Amino acid sequence: METKNENIKLIECPRDAMQGLHDFIPTEQKINYINQLLTVGFDTIDAGSFVSPKAIPQMRDSAEVFDKIDWQKSSSKLLAIIANQRGASDAVKFEQISYLGYPLSLSETFQQRNTKRSIATAMEDLSEIQGLTIANGKTLVVYLSMGFGNPYGDPYDAGFVQEFVEKLDKIDVKVISLSDTIGVSNPDNISWIFEQLIPEYSHIEFGAHLHSNPATIWEKVEAAYKAGCRRFDGAIKGFGGCPMAKDDLVGNMVTEDMVAYFNQNNIDLGINQEAFSEAQRLALEIFPGK
């Protein structure tokens, strides 16, 4: 059967996979792993973050990692997470970084836990960060965390999500990724939210940064895909999760399972299988015991 090219973007997230680990991963090991990921054919690698080392100690060497990775020969783009203007100012200095990712929560409780600031303050920061991003030829990706609900009793419905998207649209944000921070999404609410947003804001690229247990990955990917989403975040072996959300982490979407889903549906992802297999082998060295 002939394969289809539907411009599916897979974003591999080693930063998300690593950030919650207690034991520090040696910088050279991070560099080697990311270098391997850069040969696989992913659209983008979420490779590090410019945030307080007190908040995320694992990422304290991100500047050195970005300095030393071999990015010039790769078609993959690089993304760095930032949480404030200072982090954005640091990140835009790197030629190799194409995307700045900013976590904006739909939950006031989680926004305070994640970035130590209110949603209102975060929105003010975003306007300044967007200006800095554009001035330096980068693209801002806003991650709407708690994008499918929250456990805190904070407001959530489709209209509430649209209010946030409308505010982001007014400052010309081009990429918004709906994030299931604690794994509460299901096929119905994934379809529901993307079907509300994608037709209304066709000029915005919407992504899915879903967390999941292994049993529900395919149905979540299928729900987002059939609702029009073409940008998917994941991590090899499903490592990671958000350390600011809760103690029992729900892992990232397993990249291998997403690749298998799209392969079964004859969608060409441009993945180099040999390089992908080697990346999976290296992942087991970085995440021992998994």
Please state which of the ranges 42-56, 122-136, 146-160, 216-230 shows the lowest mean pLDDT.
146-160
Separation between Cα atoms, residue 200 and residue 228, nearest integer Å: 12
User: Do the Cβ atoms of 234 and 201 come closer than 8 Å?
Assistant: no
Average pLDDT value for residue range 137-164: 93
Nearest to 81 by CA among 104, 113, 54, 108: 104
Q: Assess whether pLDDT exceeds 60 at residue 250.
A: no
Q: How far is CA 95 from the centre of its chain?
A: 20
**In whole numbers, what is the pLDDT of the chain averaged over residues?**
92
Q: What confidence tens digit (pLDDT) does each residue in 50-60 have? A: 999 998 999 99
Separation between Cα atoms, residue 248 and residue 68, nearest integer Å: 33
Residues 158, 49, 97, 28: what is their CA dihedral angle, to the nearest 10 degrees?
-140
Whether the pTM exceeds 0.85: the reply is yes
User: Do the Cβ atoms of 132 and 89 come closer than 8 Å?
Assistant: yes
With a CB cutoff of 8 Å and minimum separation 6, the contacts of 219 are 187
Please state which of the ranges 61-75, 90-104, 140-154, 246-260 shows the lowest mean pLDDT.
246-260
- Length in residues, the chain: 290
DSSP state of 267: B
pLDDT for res 125: 92
- Beta strand 44-50 with 77-82: parallel, antiparallel or unpaired? parallel
In sequence order, the β-bridge partners of residue 178 are 144, 208
Angle of CA points 270, 271, 275, to nearest 5°:
145
Q: What confidence tens digit (pLDDT) does each residue in 114-135 have? A: 888 899 999 999 999 999 999 9
